[in-house]
A and B are shown apart, each in its own frame.
Chain A
Amino acid sequence: MASVSEMYDVTWEEMRDKLRKWREDNHRNSEQIVDVGEELINEHASKLGDDIWIIYEQVMIAALDCSRDDLAWTCLQELKRQFPGSQRVKRLAGMRLEALEKYEDASKQYDSILQDDPTNTAARKRKISILKAQGKSAEAIRELNEYLEQFVGDQEAWHELSELYINEHDCLGDLGVREAAVFHGGVCVCVCKQHTGSVVTLAGGQCLQECLARYGKAAFCLEELMMTNPHNHLYCEQYAEVKYTQGGLENLELSRKYFAQALKLNNRNMRALFGLYMSASHIAASPKVNATVKKANVKYATWATNQINRAYQLAGRGTKENKCSVKAVEEMLESITMS
């Protein structure tokens, strides 16, 4: 099999820099990391110097993703030899046990780390991941909340909590159902495991409230993230999406504003552009708004449509498929126009 450096004609320094970039940007392209990292470790270990230890760690985690347990074991042994008694290496050993689904052993490993050092955040987060992996999401949420009470500044944990809340919908809260309840103001049809496991018709939507409460909590987590990272357009956009999912006129207006904010921060964010179009069209189509608001929102939606069409034309200029894709976008925009 040709090595990576032969196939792509790169030097070992470029490979090392690429690994560093992937590490810093949190890429999870484990297959590539394993290929590149394995070659670096086998062929160029002496040239890497002290960088090799962090590469061992990165490759080990990628190897666990790719089910390369032999490679993971080798990396772990090297790290154990170099850093005996290190908490970080113990955590990696625990992660390997988790990958082999030996959750009790992994849990014991993390408990031993926490006994030696009760403030070790990494071990606590891994225990939460064990709960997540076993499917106990309610407990995971509870533990994560307790963790965040002590370590309020941990942004990764806030984002993780928001994702846990978003995915925590036992009862069906998908868009179609909520549309029905919100805009026709009456009966909500909900398939709910919690209640009977069959189709349940509720007036006013009691189980709907439970779904929406979780989205509200997810929105709270994202608000924390936006406060500490006001310049990050992705958090704005995700918050707007959660608000849009919650539905209701005030939430839609809020979501439109945050989509606009995300666009202000990064005018190339296509998702925010589509979001602006959708939320503005929804508000304009809602029966509860007066004429001025309706007109304003129709204006926003038209502006967004023009921007989308322009973006697709600019992106595809010079290529043969441009006409087809532009036409497809126009048709799609017309089809999702609210009546």
Chain B
Amino acid sequence: MVSSFWRDVVGVGLFALAHAAFSAAQHRSYMRLTEKENETLPIDIVLQTLLAFVLTIYGIVHISGEFKDMDASSELKNKTFDTLRNHPSFYMFNHRGRVLFCSPNREVSNIPNAEALRNPLRLRKLKHLH
């Protein structure tokens, strides 16, 4: 969750940047009016630009969330076969969970097999699948 402090920091930085840009433009037009075109930008505007830039970047880095490791294999260090083996597009549902989690007091639902309702934990006869 982004804390609003860093968002404010980015806001302040951007505002300072805009302010410095505006001041630089004003300074330019002032130079043109007074025909002193060789004077460089005053140092405070330059400093304000650079500082605002650094501040904005620092704030954005904090907003943008967790950094990932550059090493591609380090992300996988904690992965196990438990999750790798699961293929959601190929999930099958004919496992014992259908019988294990069946509550005995449930009302008649869409399951057509009446045997399962009467005594759900009794093992159904295993159908020979081949």
Question: A residues bordering B, Cβ < 8 Å?
Answer: 13, 25-28, 30-31, 61, 64-70, 73, 95, 98-101, 121-122, 125-126, 128-129, 132-135, 156-157, 159-160, 163, 231-234, 238, 265-266, 268
Contact = CB atoms under 8 A, between A and B. Distances in A.
Contact of B97 (A67, A125, A135, A231): A67
A145 B98 CA distance: 30
B76 A232 contact: yes
A49 B100 CA distance: 34
B86 interface: yes
Interface in B70-87: 72-73, 76-77, 79-87
B101 A31 contact: yes
A265 B73 contact: yes
Given A31-B101, A125-B90, A268 B85 contact: no
Chain B interface size band reads: 35 or more
Contacts of A30: 97
B110 A28 contact: no
A66 B86 CA distance: 16
A238 B85 CA distance: 11
B78 to A, nearest CB: 9
B85 A163 contact: yes
B75 to A, nearest CB: 9
Contacts of A232: 73, 76
A128 B90 contact: yes
Given A125-B89, A132-B92, A135-B130, A26 B83 contact: yes
Contacts of A132: 90, 92
Main secondary structure of the interface of A (DSSP, over half): helix
A161 to B, nearest CB: 10
Contact of B101 (A67, A99, A128): A67
A90 B92 CA distance: 17
Given A98-B93, A133-B92, A135-B130, A69 B77 contact: no
Nearest to B107: A70
B101 A68 contact: yes
Main secondary structure of the interface of B (DSSP, over half): loop
B2 interface: no
B40 interface: no
A32 B44 CA distance: 60
A31 B79 CA distance: 21
Q: Which 3 A-B pairs have the closest CB atoms?
A: A135-B129, A99-B93, A231-B72
A69 B111 contact: yes
A234 B93 contact: no
Contacts of A159: 84-85, 87
Contacts of A65: 91, 93, 95, 97
B102 interface: yes
Contact of A234 (B76, B88, B101): B76
A20 to B, nearest CB: 14
A133 B90 contact: no
Given A26-B83, A66-B101, A268-B77, A156 B94 contact: no
A100 B110 CA distance: 8
19 contacts: A26-B83, A26-B87, A61-B91, A65-B97, A67-B99, A69-B109, A95-B93, A100-B111, A133-B92, A133-B93, A133-B94, A135-B130, A160-B90, A231-B73, A232-B73, A234-B80, A238-B81, A266-B73, A266-B76
Interface in B99-119: 99-102, 106, 109-112
A231 B87 CA distance: 20
Given A27-B82, A95-B93, 16 more contacts: A61-B91, A65-B93, A65-B97, A67-B101, A70-B106, A95-B91, A99-B98, A100-B111, A133-B93, A133-B94, A135-B130, A163-B85, A231-B76, A232-B73, A238-B81, A265-B76
Nearest to A34: B101
A121 B72 CA distance: 28
Interface in B42-79: 72-73, 76-77, 79
B68 to A, nearest CB: 13
Contact of A233 (B76, B85, B110, B129): B76
